[in-house]
A and B are shown apart, each in its own frame.
Chain A
């Protein structure tokens, strides 16, 4: 069973602030890291799938980096908006796997 840690557990920021949070995972048998965004009463929505060490992905104001050697990924949100309020989940997976092992998530609240 993989141990996936996300920090912080929750975060409150003012509208316009930039923020970032961390996902730590075992680097052995790693193939890809998935990031999801989960708004209350909605389905989790895929943000990024990252595979390569040093990989950087960007989607609007949200970006992510990946370090597979040390087993961590950062998610950055630039100029947070109230609509960014959600729980952000990360999940690593191995090669040829059907399993995503999720962390408990970081709950972001953006205060207008």
Chain B
């Protein structure tokens, strides 16, 4: 069993749909992250939550809406997405700030917007 679990693994949605990605970590960490991996681009940080409070939002469009109800769960709500939002979305967690700490990733959710 992996420490960070993401569902669904694959999602196809229309531009007018509303869907959500879910992430759960079983490591007792307090910080959780959403990253985006687009084709031919490096992993990009989207959001950071620490103890349920959002600490980073890297200028992500409002059509992506994160939610962190507790330190173990993180959601990414998706609405009116564009085809260019098709990408791999990775969730991760860490014990406090990254600096010298390891960040643990889930296997990702592949999103296709049609």
Contacts and interface: CB of A to CB of B under 8 A. Distances in A.
Contacts of B97: 96-98
A98 B31 contact: yes
B105 interface: yes
Contacts of B48: 98-99
Given A43-B90, A44-B90, A105-B42, A97 B105 contact: no
B102 A49 contact: yes
Contact of A98 (B43, B56, B90): B56
Contacts of B94: 98
B99 A43 contact: no
Given A4-B42, A46-B104, A104-B41, A98 B33 contact: yes
B107 A32 contact: no
A21 B4 CA distance: 29
Contacts of B99: 31-32, 93-97
A99 B56 contact: yes
A59 interface: no
**SS of A interface (majority):** loop
Nearest to A105: B42
A48 to B, nearest CB: 9
Given A49-B101, A96-B99, A98-B98, A43 B2 contact: yes
A46 B104 CA distance: 7
A69 B100 CA distance: 18
Given A103-B42, A104-B40, 12 more contacts: A34-B103, A43-B106, A49-B102, A89-B42, A91-B43, A93-B99, A96-B99, A98-B50, A100-B103, A102-B42, A102-B44, A104-B41
22 contacts: A31-B99, A34-B103, A42-B107, A43-B90, A43-B106, A44-B43, A44-B90, A46-B102, A46-B103, A49-B101, A89-B42, A89-B43, A96-B99, A97-B99, A98-B50, A98-B94, A99-B56, A100-B45, A101-B42, A104-B40, A104-B42, A105-B42
